[in-house]
Structure 1
């Protein structure tokens, strides 16, 4: 893992929607990262999360669709954790992703093996399938029992989401917590020196 990409936040390994949302953001000092910056990076990210076959290929258009879903999910999660109504466009985008993947295996005939059923996966259907899986995970998370555990990181300059492992948890990582505590200690020290 690159030093510029933070470790997975709690819940991101179990929920691909959290992993996708957290695949872009800001690091300390305002440096940004994007794990889906190129089609090749998007393929590597999807493979690392077990969402596509090792031989899958994505093009820029598909990468852009995945990045757009990430933005829509971020809007939904931000509204949810703020207790606000989500943007209708974001809800509609997630619903489109939920219904875009074909759910039926098609009937095929191979002279050597006979009839078989398989999915038809041109490049666009690969990304549609991935988007449907991620959108389904987001819908289940937002409407399920774990929804109350969903939280944004409270560290300044961090825009990641995580599932609280305990009620008092405020940060997505030890790194963010350490940064906040160090900033508080520095501020106290400066206040005492100024007094």
Structure 2
């Protein structure tokens, strides 16, 4: 269902809107995406779809601008800051039996917590050195973003877009006439 997962969380969120379709059109689709991201997110109960879609637009706007070195829209930066402020992180202290441990927690309902986590992950991406390395897939009609592990990587997925490009090249070389 989701063509590319495992990129930084903000990129995975932006990639839920492909050139063909929006993959987060229902609460069930959002739940499926959250299941795929479960290792990177706190446990979440019912999350509202509309605020996540609104945040996705802001994340998309700031990521696209920042990777090109231009100023992101102020309203998007403000929305990300507000999302973080709505469920600030605190560290809950407890005893493990041998040492004090600090577990990050966030107050608020599931939607506020998710938005805060996504906004914080976006802030980390935007303020790190990797933002200028984020690329658009070079596959025809693909709008997915990725952070290349190798500088020569061209496609979001060698199995999807890379294969399409290779097949198209093959047919161009071998077409009759």
Out of 23, 27, 33, the position equivalent to 1:45 is 33
Instruction: Decide whether the 8 Å contact of 2:90 with 2:106 is kept in 1.
Output: yes
Choose the corresponding residue for 1:184, options 160, 169, 172: 169
Q: Residue in 2 aligned with 1:78?
A: 64
One of 144, 147, 164 as aligned partner of 2:148: 164
1:49, distance to aligned residue in structure 2 (A): 1.0
- Aligned match of 1:32: 21
Mark the runs of 5 or more structure 2 residues left unpaired by the alignment.
Answer: 93-104
Distance 1:40 1:52 in 2: 18
Aligned to 1:141: 125
Aligned partner of 2:46 among 57, 73, 77 = 57
Change (3 A) 1:172 1:129: same
SS of equivalent to 2:71: coil
Larger Rg: 1
Aligned match of 1:17: 10
Give the secondary-structure state (helix, strand or coil) at the position aligned to 1:80.
Answer: helix
C-alpha contact 2:135 2:146 (8 A) present in aligned 1: yes
Residues 99 and 186 of structure 1: is their aligned pair in 2 closer, same or farther, counting only changes over 3 Å? same
Q: Please report the RMSD computed on the Cα atoms of aligned residues, expressed in angstroms.
A: 2.6
Going from structure 1 to structure 2, the CA distance change for 1:119 and 1:20 (only over 3 Å counts) comes to closer
Q: TM-score, normalised by structure 2?
A: 0.77
Aligned residues: 162
Structure 1 residue 151, shift from structure 2 partner: 1.2
Structure 2 CA distance for partners of 1:77 and 1:183, relative to 1, 3 Å: farther
The partner residue of 1:66 within 52, 62, 67 is: 52
**Alpha-carbon distance in structure 2 between the residues aligned to 1:180 and 1:16:** 27
Give the direction of change, closer, same or farther, for the CA distance of 1:90–1:184 in structure 2 (3 Å limit). farther
Contact kept, 8 Å, 2:69 with 2:132, in 1: the verdict is: no
- Report the CA distance shift for 1:43/1:33 in structure 2 as closer, same or farther (over 3 A): same
Deviations 1:46-102 (A, max 9, x none): 233122426x123xxx21110111111111222233343222222222111121214
